Structure 1
Amino acid sequence: MRGEILTYDDGPGAGLISGDDGQRYSFSRADLQQLTPVRPGMKVDFVPAEGVATQVIVVVGQPAIGTGYTPGVAGSGASIDWKTLFLEANGRIGQKDYWIGVGILFAAGLVLGWIPAIGTVVSLASIYFGICVSSKRLHDMGKSGWLAAIPYGVTALAVVLSAMTFIGGIVSTGYGNDFGALAGMGAAGGVWALAFLVNLGFLIWLGVTTGQPGDNLYGPPPRPLATF
């Protein structure tokens, strides 16, 4: 049967094909019969089997669109859609693009954070960038993008609770008592440790949970933003 590729994410190696019969068929990297650049919009021949496209062959001779990317071949048209990844909160992204976005933000914050003025600007900007990345990943899972605010809410709560526990430790033992200060510091450290674990768990949850197959409330399955 003849069809057209709707989406393909080289991270999980999965995509969707719209068949000429009006039905949609899922396919995986293993179903591709040739090492050929794969992009949405390409025409393919395939054998349908219970909603799955098998023996997928890209139609030879169709014009190339932009720079080709061959799955599994490093450096073949590698690129990143920076604008969509970091500046747009709508839409969906896959697990691979999510981890790339998280890695870039972490590395940028680690390197530029040592520069006082630039570090402050980067820290503030990274909040928005991080929300955009997390929001699209949540959308892919079929969940509200507002949940991306959880890590920031947990951090703000940790600031308040750690200050309260620190001051409470001092007040409870009397001012000038070193034991009270140490107790307060220990309690505040425990609050921050708990906040760190919650935020780490949230980050990992977004990175390991697979997206919903097919369209959902937030749009069609994501196309890969990073091709390498």
Structure 2
Amino acid sequence: MRGEVLTYDDSPGTGLISGDDGARYAFSRSDLQQLTPIRAGMKVDFVPVDGAATQVFITAQASAATGYTPGVAGSGASFDWRTLFLNASGRIGRKDYWIGIAALFVANVVLGWLPLIGFVVSLASIYGGVCVASKRLHDMGKTGWLAAVPYGVYAVALVFSAMAFIGGIVSTASYDNDFGVLTGLGGAMGLWGLALLINFAFVIWLGVTEGDRADNAYGPPPQPLANF
């Protein structure tokens, strides 16, 4: 039977097809017979089984009249910011990753000049950073939970630097001893330096590693979010 894709959400990998018989059929990523990314408006051929579409073949691309499709280059938007920073599902390539990292870096530098409001907004930007890293990890075929690694490293550095600072003071047997303060401060700074180095390496790793060229558990190869 022939039909047209009504909806497709790459996050759960499910969608709906409107058949030529007027009925709607659900389908999943595993029903697709091609590696071509699928989206609303595409013409397909499928085998209906108990109200579901199986063996789905794409027979024609979506018409340009369908308008803007998030995350699809040349579909009417210069950049899909919402998908990049507010959606942790799906995959992105290296170009979109670096654009996202650069935007977050500039935003945090600007927010650093603001008082309390800037600090609160910069905390909210953490979610955007997790979304960007998560999608890049998905493109590499890895779980998005690894995006929590930088924040885990900072948390560990915070705990151990506090312990090193207090330990340096206590080891001198005097809280008024300047040497103890300097010793503790040196240990804390060393741990923070190591944490920064680890997280810098993590950012570079995500930015230079090639993604999977074929479909993986997180969807088909990503279309660029940036149309430039």
Aligned-residue offset at 1:137: 0.3
What residue identity is the alignment partner of 1:199? Answer: N
What residue identity is the alignment partner of 1:208? Answer: V
Distance 1:104 1:219 in 2: 25
Aligned-residue offset at 1:159: 0.8
Corresponding position of 1:86: 85
8 Å Cα contact 1:113-1:122 kept in structure 2? no
8 Å Cα contact 1:162-1:188 kept in structure 2? yes
Counterparts of residues 51-200 of structure 1 (less than 5 Å): 79-173=78-172, 174-200=174-200
Work out whether 1:225 is the aligned partner of 2:222.
no
Q: Secondary structure at the match of 1:110?
A: helix
8 Å Cα contact 2:35-2:215 kept in structure 1? no
8 Å Cα contact 1:98-1:133 kept in structure 2? yes
**TM-score, structure 1 as length reference:** 0.67
When structure 1 is superposed on structure 2, of 108-117 and 130-139 the one drifting more is 108-117
Q: Secondary structure at the match of 2:171?
A: helix
Aligned-residue offset at 1:179: 0.8
CA RMSD of aligned residues (A): 2.8
Corresponding position of 2:205: 205
Distance 1:123 1:63 in 2: 38
Distance 2:108 2:152 in 1: 20
What residue identity is the alignment partner of 1:140? Answer: D
Evaluate the alpha carbon distance shift between residue 210 and residue 123 of structure 1 in structure 2; reply closer, same or farther with a 3 A threshold. Answer: same
Aligned-residue offset at 1:122: 1.9
- After superposition, what is the alpha-carbon deviation per residue over 1:136-169, rounded to whole angstroms, capped at 9, x for unaligned? 0000000000000000000111111111100100
What residue identity is the alignment partner of 1:92? Answer: R
Aligned-residue offset at 1:78: 6.8
Task: Return 5+ residue gaps in structure 1 as ranges.
Answer: 1-21, 26-40, 43-61, 68-76
Q: Percent identity?
A: 68
Distance 1:211 1:175 in 2: 53
- After superposition, what is the alpha-carbon deviation per residue over 1:104-127, rounded to whole angstroms, capped at 9, x for unaligned? 000001012211132122211111
Distance 1:84 1:221 in 2: 15
Distance 1:85 1:24 in 2: 23
Distance 2:153 2:118 in 1: 22
What residue identity is the alignment partner of 1:212? Answer: D
Q: Secondary structure at the match of 2:121?
A: helix
What residue identity is the alignment partner of 1:194? Answer: L
* Runs of 4+ deviating beyond 3 Å: 22-25, 62-67
